[in-house]
């Protein structure tokens, strides 16, 4: 580990001031990291701007080789980087290691896609002209990432940006900069030319945002994080008319219809809900279960929730770690208390935990008005609501009644229902019968308050491409 340094123009850089990174499980300081200021941020943009002409001109096959090497290095170090992630983020070691492997796969997929960033020829209206579309990188990209998936949120931006021929200045969350440093080490060793990838660690995200927004060399900002910060960045980007992708918060509904495989549905919900202690933008927030299967579903979900071992993610027996900080814990508690005050019931045996640990919690008798159904809980709380026969349209309307629109889940074995309901759900992603949400080839992203832009797949790369339209007169 590069002793908590930033990476600017191919050089590891330290600063006089450093900020502490804390282990959410123990509250202890894990490391101190360079606290970059405006000047160093601008130097990172200088480096990215200088590296841009060389990187975009490098043949795609050659760029792909370097990217593939970086993916291989990441995979090879998955366990070591996983341990770094667990220390600063809290998720169990197996989950963290799995995230590094999945993150590397995003880089690998983009490496392969590098060779398929095609242009087009459009039929012309005259024999004397030709119309070409030339794909060009948007330019220098600033990427801002959250703490909940400290590696994969980075590689999901980095892969497509580099594939398109862009250079990047990354600012990771101040809560999880060590995983980002580990990624930066792999990229450096893979042989990226200096300045193609720069890492700015800082405890002052607002200052970073002001600096890159004021710099007209930065042509695109790719952000993943809360809707509140996303809104602010959208406003800030207006002056320089920068391109923006914003992957924001979510409030995912789950619809379990009476014809579903109820055991599989409970297992799928438990996986999606309790992964990362519920700290995921795609985490199920409202679980609508048909009343004829609600008891069976609840029993199974409670059984799975109570089988979870909560504790320090470094312990190999632990299957759910702590919440990221005290504020997160307080919010989860507030949501549970609000639900109980308004008539919900606790279905799980609720053993209070110490530190930032919160028990996996299942609530029944929940209504759409409760806080837990209106705000992103970002914790291990599964609220169950019910619906009746003949209420398909009604339950879809309830699912859609949110300002968010990232992910929705649907459990049914009726093909007509799969088609109808997935078409009616106002979300960027619909998972049917437990199919995964974020494979590298899938265009992940939301609608409404969950933002715009896509990460993953061909569409993810296109987010970093400008198509130049060239209309050629042949001079005949």
Q: How far is the CB of 64 from ligand NAD (least distance, A)?
A: 25
Place of tokens 């993150």: 103
Is position 225 an interface residue for ligand NAD (rule: CB under 6 A)?
A: yes
Kindly identify the residues of this chain, within the stretch 251-290, that bind ligand NAD according to CB under 6 A. Answer: 281
Number of other residues whose CB lies within 10 A of the CB of residue 25: 21
- 247, 300, 392, 463: which one binds ligand NAD (CB under 6 A): 247
Would you say 177 or 360 has its CB closer to ligand NAD? 177
Q: Which stretch binds ligand NAD (CB under 6 A): 201-209, 362-370, 387-395, 462-470?
A: 201-209
Q: How far is the CB of 276 from ligand NAD (least distance, A)?
A: 10
| Residue 205 binds to ligand NAD (criterion: CB under 6 A) | yes
Nearer CB in complex with ligand NAD: 95/376: 376
Residue with the closest Cβ to ligand NAD?
A: 225
User: How far is residue 33's CA from residue 429's CA, in Å, rounded to a whole number?
Assistant: 36
Residue of 36, 166, 186, 281 with catalytic role? 281
Q: Are 190 and 73 in contact (CB under 8 A)?
A: yes
- Spatial distance between the Cα atoms of 417 and 438, rounded to a whole number of angstroms: 23
The answer to whether 262 and 230 are in contact (CB under 8 A) is: no
Which residue in 335, 336, 272, 270 sits closest to 297, CA to CA?
A: 270
Out of 152, 222, 224, 285, the residue judged to bind ligand NAD by CB under 6 A: 224
User: Which listed residue (4, 5, 97, 147) binds ligand NAD by CB under 6 A?
Assistant: 147
Near ligand NAD by CB under 6 A: residue from 86, 89, 114, 148:
148
Binding range to ligand NAD, per CB under 6 A, among 92-100, 202-210, 261-269, 306-314: 202-210
Q: Could you say whether residue 142 binds ligand NAD (CB under 6 A)? A: no
Give the Cα separation of 376 and 368 in Å (integer).
13
Q: Is 247 a catalytic residue?
A: yes
Residues 346-385 that bind ligand NAD (CB under 6 A): 376
Binding mask 415-454 for ligand NAD (x = CB under 6 A): -------------------------------x---x----
User: Which residues are paired to 286 by β-bridges?
Assistant: 253
Q: Is the separation of the CB atoms in 139 and 219 below 8 Å?
A: yes
Q: Are 405 and 427 in contact (CB under 8 A)?
A: yes
**Does 99 sit near ligand NAD (CB under 6 A)?**
no
**Separation CA 197–CA 193 (nearest Å):** 8
CA-nearest of 7, 37, 48 to 207 is 37
Of the pair 281, 294, the CB lying nearest ligand NAD is at: 281
Sole binder of ligand NAD in the list 249, 322, 383, 453 (CB under 6 A): 249
Shortest distance in whole angstroms from residue 262 CB to ligand NAD: 28
Task: For 96-120, give one letter per residue: b (16+ CB within 10 A) or e.
Answer: bbbbbbbbbbbbbbbbbbbeebeee
Provide the minimum distance between the beta carbon of 136 and ligand NAD in the complex, in angstroms, as a whole number. 26
Query: Least distance from C-beta 460 to ligand NAD, angstroms?
Result: 12
CB atoms within 10 A of CB 346: 16
Q: How many CB atoms lie within 10 A of CB 15?
A: 18
Smallest distance, ligand NAD to C-beta of residue 98, A: 16
Q: How far is the CB of 335 from ligand NAD (least distance, A)?
A: 14
Q: Considering beta carbons, is residue 119 or 403 the nearer one to ligand NAD? A: 403
Closest among 208, 167, 211, 216 to 187, alpha carbons compared: 167
Query: Distance (Å, rounded) from C-alpha 385 to C-alpha 137?
Result: 47
List Cβ neighbours of 29 (8 Å cut-off, separation of 6 or more). Answer: 20, 21, 22, 23
- What residues numbered 158-197 form the site for ligand NAD, per CB under 6 A? 171, 173-174
> How many angstroms separate the most distant Cα atoms in the chain?
83
Q: Could you say which of 40, 164, 244, 248 contacts ligand NAD (CB under 6 A)? A: 248
Q: Residue 120 — left, alpha, or beta (φ > 0 → left; ψ -120 to 50 → alpha)?
A: beta
CB of 424 to ligand NAD, least distance (A): 21
Active site residue 189: no
226, 422, 426, 433: which one binds ligand NAD (CB under 6 A): 226
Considering the complex, state which of residue 82 and residue 250 has its C-beta at the smaller distance from ligand NAD.
250
Catalytic residue among 88, 95, 185, 247: 247
Q: Which is nearer to ligand NAD, 281 or 304 (CB)?
A: 281
Q: Are 251 and 376 in contact (CB under 8 A)?
A: yes
* Ordered DSSP codes for 342-392: TT-EE-S-----STT----EEEES--TTSHHHHS---SSEEEEEEE-TT-H
Q: Per rule CB under 6 A, is residue 145 in the interface with ligand NAD?
A: yes
Closest by alpha carbon to 271, among 248, 296, 246, 254? 254
Q: Could you give the residue numbers annotated as active site?
A: 247, 281
Interface residues toward ligand NAD, by CB under 6 A: 144-148, 153, 171, 173-174, 205-206, 209, 224-226, 229, 232, 247-250, 281, 376, 406, 446, 450
């Amino acid at each position: 580990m590069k002793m908590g340094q930033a990476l600017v123009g191919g050089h590891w850089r330290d600063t006089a001031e450093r900020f502490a990174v804390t282990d959410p499980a123990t509250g202890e300081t894990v490391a101190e990291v360079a606290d970059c200021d405006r000047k160093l941020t601008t130097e990172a943009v200088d480096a990215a701007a200088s590296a841009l002409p060389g990187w975009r001109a490098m043949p795609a096959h050659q760029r792909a080789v370097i990217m593939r090497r970086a993916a291989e290095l990441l995979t090879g170090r998955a366990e070591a980087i996983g341990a770094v992630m667990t220390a600063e983020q809290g998720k169990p070691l197996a989950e963290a290691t799995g995230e590094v492997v999945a993150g590397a796969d995003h880089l690998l997929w983009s490496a392969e896609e590098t060779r398929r960033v095609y242009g087009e020829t459009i039929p012309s209206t005259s024999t004397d002209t030709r119309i070409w579309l030339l794909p060009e990188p948007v330019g220098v990209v600033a990427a801002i990432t959250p703490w909940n998936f400290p590696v994969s949120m980075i590689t999901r931006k980095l892969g497509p940006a580099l594939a398109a021929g862009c250079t990047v200045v990354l600012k990771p969350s101040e809560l999880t900069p060590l995983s980002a440093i580990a990624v930066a080490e792999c990229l450096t060793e893979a042989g990226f030319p200096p300045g193609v990838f720069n890492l700015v660690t800082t405890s002052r995200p607002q200052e970073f945002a002001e600096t890159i927004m004021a710099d007209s060399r930065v042509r695109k900002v790719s952000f993943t994080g809360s809707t509140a910060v996303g809104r602010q960045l959208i406003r800030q980007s207006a002056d320089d008319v920068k391109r923006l992708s914003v992957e924001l918060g979510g409030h995912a509904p789950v619809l379990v219809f009476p014809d579903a495989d109820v055991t599989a549905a409970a297992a799928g919900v438990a996986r999606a809900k309790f992964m990362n202690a519920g700290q995921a933008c795609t985490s199920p927030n409202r679980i609508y279960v048909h009343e004829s299967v609600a008891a069976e579903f609840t029993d199974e979900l409670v059984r799975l929730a109570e089988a979870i071992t909560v504790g320090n993610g470094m312990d190999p027996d632990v299957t759910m770690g702590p919440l990221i900080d005290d504020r997160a814990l307080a919010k989860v508690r507030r949501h549970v208390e609000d639900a109980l005050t308004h008539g919900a019931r606790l279905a799980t045996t609720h053993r209070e935990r110490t530190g930032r640990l919160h028990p996996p919690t299942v609530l029944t008798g929940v209504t759409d008005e409760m806080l837990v159904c209106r705000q992103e809980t970002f914790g291990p709380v599964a609220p169950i609501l019910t619906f009746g026969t003949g209420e398909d349209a009604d339950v879809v309307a309830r699912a859609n009644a949110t300002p968010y629109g990232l992910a929705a889940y649907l459990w049914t074995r009726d093909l007509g229902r799969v088609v109808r309901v997935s078409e009616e759900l106002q979300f960027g992603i619909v998972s049917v019968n437990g199919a995964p949400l974020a494979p590298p080839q899938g265009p992940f992203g939301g609608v409404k308050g969950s933002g715009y832009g896509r990460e993953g797949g061909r569409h993810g790369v296109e987010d970093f491409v400008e198509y130049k339209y060239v209309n050629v007169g042949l001079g005949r």
